Structure 1
Amino acid sequence: MVAKENQKYKNSMFVDLFFEDESAEENDIALYNALHEEPLPKGTQIRKIRVDDVLYMNFRNDVSFGIDDKVIVFGEHQSTVNENMPIRDLLYIGRAFEQIVPVRDRYRKKAVKLPKPEFYTFYNGKEPWAKEKILRLSDSYDLKDSNPMLELCVKVININPDEGHEILDKCRILREYSEFVEILRKYQMKGNPEACRHAIEECLKAGILVDYLTKKGSEVVNMLIAEYDYDLDIEVQREEAYEEGQRDGQQKKIREQVKKKLAKGKSIETIADELEETQEEIAKVVKKLHNCEQDADTASR
């Protein structure tokens, strides 16, 4: 199945290397062979699969393709590892199977043959992480079971050059990509306003991703800027969510305090003074409490 490009999405450099670029199929096969003991025969064809709105919104950091009797899902993390990858990959593979299995086949009496899925996440972030680790869907279950009826495993591989994972020796394109990311990060940490350009120039001199960067230099800069903006946007959203949670927690605490003081017959003026809040703010809280009580009375009738 050939994927159709949706222009509302922005691709990461990882996706371009392993999905969009003219060398993507060759790169996928090289990476597949590095992950498996038995290499694929020459001339093997891969089937690109595109699933939207599951792993990332409006930004693609994932690659999936069919190869022989398998579906391979690759993801990349440059910030922190998301330990919810198993459930996100579960949703992802469900959407992929919707594309692979014709509607009529789903209602046949005999079992439908499915390609075997495999899930990999390549980590090259700054925070310490294991050289290799398996994340399991069952780890998130409230009720632990030694033999869960639904399981999904994601292999997370740390591709930072310092970790020295053997996959970097087996797959040249992945090794050079990880070296590029490390060089780029060096310039970014120095606050260099032209970090992308300097990283590309250094890599070209060092023989890293030469063909790719020579061919797509300006496009790579745009992809890196989009990726940086995406990571920054996610970080800001997390901070805002945390601050909102803090505010909600503080407001809940104030409501509980006001409720207790009202029960003791204290006035709004006294409560405001004791809690070091304005009378207007306490009056709003009191009004909300009364509205909640009225709603509860109405519901119980």
Structure 2
Amino acid sequence: MRKHNRHYKDSVFVDLFGEDRNAKKNFLSLYNALYATNYQSTDILKNIRLKQTMYMSFANDVSYLVDNKIIVLAEHQSTVNPNMPLRCLEYVTRLYEHIQNPRDRYSRTLKKIPVPAFYVFYNGVEKLPAKQVLKLSDSFIVQPEVPSLELVVQLININYDKNSRIVTSCELLGQYSRFVDAVRRHIAVDRDHGFEKAIKECIQNDILKEYLQRKAREVINMLIAEYDYDTDIAVQREEAGRAAFAEGSRQTKLETAKTMLTMGYPLGDICKIVGLPQAEVEALK
């Protein structure tokens, strides 16, 4: 597969709902579906996305201020990150710093702030329920009866075959879900031309047709960047897994050696059996 152009740091999802010329209109339809509203004018939307989402940093996001709420959307195409509540906490803190007057925090009167809402749209291949909740408190080392700090992330499976309410009620999101499915199918059998074939299929079937006709080349570059990103993440996880396995194996050897020492085995025999240097085994005495 071709290497991506690092200029394309956003995903198709982010471009569609956050950066494209029709992004506000697209996001408004998604917001109406999420909150059962019927807003028609995009004038109520303010894009507040922090312009610092670099390759391999915070999950590509879409952030708007609307209806006294901060809506943060993120998309995951690979495995679900259970640390999203913590990442969202760090992110929304920066958003508040960005939209609030710094002097407000020292005011003698209570300053009202927009209500934050976090959504992660998942369209990977793992079997996940249509909807689940991730909580910051789940990551606490000690579980308090009442958390003094909480952040809730709504995780929604937008794979089209999950019949998620949001996918069926937001036509554009439904089309995006089918687009992702087409990309996945075509890239599985043709890694060199799968993106082009998926785009062609979607245009023929009136799936994101206007968008894909207008931005086909940019979409291909964004897709290449996305798939490179997922590959990098997979490699890092595999390497971390191997390191953890190696450390676990060493710990097992040390524990075995220590047990054998207490049982009176000769030092030389212990070293041969567990495969550790004599100095390490002696240090266990």
Confirm or deny a common fold (TM above 0.5).
yes
What's the TM-score, normalizing by structure 2? 0.87
SS in structure 2 of the partner of residue 117 of structure 1:
strand
Matched, 1:32 2:41: no
Mapping of residues 80-229 of structure 1, within 5 Å: 80-145=79-144, 147-229=146-228
Q: Which residue of 1 aligns with 2:277?
A: 282
Higher relative contact order (CA 8 A, sep 6+): 2
SS in structure 1 of the partner of residue 277 of structure 2:
helix
Larger radius of gyration: 1
Matches of 1:67 and 1:256, distance apart in 2: 58
Q: Is the 8 A contact 2:24 2:42 kept in 1?
A: no
Matches of 2:55 and 2:249, distance apart in 1: 31
Q: Which residue of 2 aligns with 1:23?
A: 22
> Offset at 1:19?
1.3
CA 1:55–1:62: 2 relative to 1, 3 Å: farther
> Offset at 1:200?
0.5
Matches of 2:87 and 2:54, distance apart in 1: 6
Matched, 1:244 2:277: no
- Consecutive unaligned residues of structure 2, counting only runs of 5 or more, are 1-5
CA 1:286–1:26: 2 relative to 1, 3 Å: same
SS in structure 1 of the partner of residue 153 of structure 2:
strand
Say which is worse superposed, 235-244 or 83-92, in terms of deviation.
83-92
Amino acid at match of 2:266: K
Task: Give the number of aligned pairs.
Answer: 279
Q: Tell me how large the CA RMSD over aligned residues is.
A: 2.7
Q: Is the 8 A contact 1:11 1:60 kept in 2?
A: no
SS in structure 1 of the partner of residue 73 of structure 2:
strand
Q: Is the 8 A contact 2:8 2:225 kept in 1?
A: no
Amino acid at match of 1:96: L
Matches of 1:150 and 1:96, distance apart in 2: 18
What's the TM-score, normalizing by structure 1? 0.83
Q: Which residue of 2 aligns with 1:235?
A: 234
Q: Which runs of 4+ in 1 moved over 6 A?
A: 52-56
Matches of 1:8 and 1:221, distance apart in 2: 13
Amino acid at match of 1:213: L
Amino acid at match of 1:266: P
> Offset at 1:266?
3.3
Q: Is the 8 A contact 1:54 1:91 kept in 2?
A: no
Q: Which residue of 1 aligns with 2:266?
A: 266
> Offset at 1:286?
5.0
Amino acid at match of 1:204: I
Matches of 2:55 and 2:103, distance apart in 1: 30
CA 1:146–1:8: 2 relative to 1, 3 Å: farther
- Consecutive unaligned residues of structure 1, counting only runs of 5 or more, are 1-6, 294-301
